[in-house]
Amino acid sequence: MFGMHGPELWFILAIVVLLFGGKKIPELMRGVGKGIREFNAAKANLQDEFEKGIKEDDTQKLSEKKEA
């Protein structure tokens, strides 16, 4: 993961515990999880809209081809 191994990850974890304290970490992780869920929902919505637009464009091109 990004070229980091055991010692680097332990060091980062220790810094996080010192900065936020043991009681704040669950709140922090809940916020991160919520942000990831919202990001994934927005990504899925954008992908659906993109695919819908492609299908509409294809349908429009086929109808124009039939008229010509």
pLDDT in tens, 11-39: 988 898 888 888 888 888 899 999 999 99
pLDDT band of residue 68 (cuts 50, 70, 90) is low
Tally the C-alpha atoms within 13 A of residue 58's C-alpha that lie toward its C-beta.
6
Q: Which residue has the higher pLDDT, 36 or 59?
A: 36
Count: domains in the chain: 1
The one-character DSSP state at 22 is T
Which residues form the domain of 59?
21-67
Distances 53 to 4, 19, 57 between C-alpha atoms, Å = 41, 46, 6
DSSP 2: T
- The residue length of the chain stands at 68
Within a domain: 11: no
| C-beta of residue 8 within 8 angstroms of C-beta of residue 16 | no
Asked, for residue 14, whether it belongs to a domain, the answer is no
